[in-house]
Structure 1
């Protein structure tokens, strides 16, 4: 079973398309799916859109959890991770930047090599990748480099939003970061699990501009840098 955890905040325009794409995404034979959506205090009716979709498509089994007020992507993921019951958990953003059809690629190392963690890299494999911000790409490479140095990994895309984990390992971590610090924190803590098997596959990326709703900013980048040092040294 694959648990798809979707943190949701003010994405009423795209969430139905995301849910449809998640439900239609092909999975390897014998792999089922569950969908856990965590609305993080949206103010645009996103939760109501999900509730209506779930009610009109009961066979799809979409579960909606709600935060009374906005706490951050990491906090929404904490809630969704705790509620997941599948063998593996995959994170799916609610903005269509990442394509659910890549789940089959993320599952390949699981089925072939008993992977524990699989990162979907935007920078390998020749998949479609929207060209956007130069300084974002430099910042991403810097954060990935530093994360690798602290955690003795060789990832190409630590900040990717497409990550798949063995459920019991992820639920066994004590995660603290409530915003975008989730990425460096979970990477550092996973890297310290004895014998953990980390893989990376190429995925497509359809990035958004700020005018289109992108939320992460330079302050989040600075906080991610702090998290790399904090959890890299003290996990």
Structure 2
């Protein structure tokens, strides 16, 4: 029986590099019986992202790409909401359009799910022996603080709540009512997943090739404060 992994890519002003991540996706070999469904949601980019995607689709018809464009710029979380609802695969993973995460490691995340142990798998940048770019000290401290604060309310023992790489049983994540339109998506989805009865959450170590702000990194200190607000909001009020 053929199954699908839906790969959700929110894209904003990634015209220069979107082809690189798609090239990587083409080369990924998933376990036998699992096909790739790539869902790109263009968050109303101001550059040539749309043109780059259309060109890639024409030149690489073998890669199953579903393309959607937001009418206005609404943020990463809103793009993810669209992609999640459009997914038709049995499994779903979130993939940023940049090159910070390696799609070859989908198989690491899939293993606990395909083995029947997990419903959700987080890819942690802070565990395991995989390569990690040495990045900003305070950015790392901020990530660990947000994870600690999130764990206090969810009663999970995650090491990296803010990771991009989250893989889900698709029906599980589609059952959630998600509200956060920007980077608050991460603490919100973590809080709401943690409250599902008998949910099985695993964590595996992954690589991380972080970008600097000069290279296009978009998250900033304001997003960190929003994450704290979301941890408190969805942890205390369970809305």
TM normalised by structure 1 equals: 0.98
Structure 1 residue 32 displacement after superposition: 1.1
Structure 1 residue 31 displacement after superposition: 1.3
Could you tell me which runs of 5 or more consecutive residues in structure 2 were left unpaired when the two chains were aligned: none
Structure 1 match to 2:202: 199
| Counterparts of 2:50 and 2:188, CA distance in 1 | 27
1:154 has 2:157 as partner: yes
| Counterparts of 2:36 and 2:215, CA distance in 1 | 29
1:64 has 2:67 as partner: yes
Structure 1 residue 137 displacement after superposition: 0.7
| Counterparts of 1:56 and 1:114, CA distance in 2 | 39
| Counterparts of 2:117 and 2:83, CA distance in 1 | 23
Structure 2 match to 1:12: 15
Structure 2 match to 1:217: 220
Structure 1 match to 2:168: 165
1:180-232 C-alpha deviation (Å, 9 max, x unpaired): 00000000000000000000001100000000000000000000000000001
Structure 1 residue 28 displacement after superposition: 1.3
| Counterparts of 2:141 and 2:61, CA distance in 1 | 44
| Counterparts of 1:154 and 1:100, CA distance in 2 | 25
Aligned counterpart for 1:55 among listed residues 19, 33, 58: 58
The 3-state SS of whatever aligns with 2:115 is helix
| Counterparts of 2:237 and 2:27, CA distance in 1 | 41
| Counterparts of 1:102 and 1:79, CA distance in 2 | 24
Matches within 5 A, 1:36-185: 36-185=39-188
| Counterparts of 2:93 and 2:235, CA distance in 1 | 23
Structure 1 residue 26 displacement after superposition: 1.8
Do the aligned partners of 1:7 and 1:38 also contact (CA within 8 Å) in 2? yes
TM normalised by structure 2 equals: 0.97
Could you tell me which runs of 5 or more consecutive residues in structure 1 were left unpaired when the two chains were aligned: none
Do the aligned partners of 2:10 and 2:96 also contact (CA within 8 Å) in 1? yes
Q: CA RMSD in A?
A: 0.8
Deviating above 6 A after TM superposition, structure 1's stretches of 4 or more consecutive aligned residues are none
| Counterparts of 1:72 and 1:155, CA distance in 2 | 25
The 3-state SS of whatever aligns with 1:207 is coil
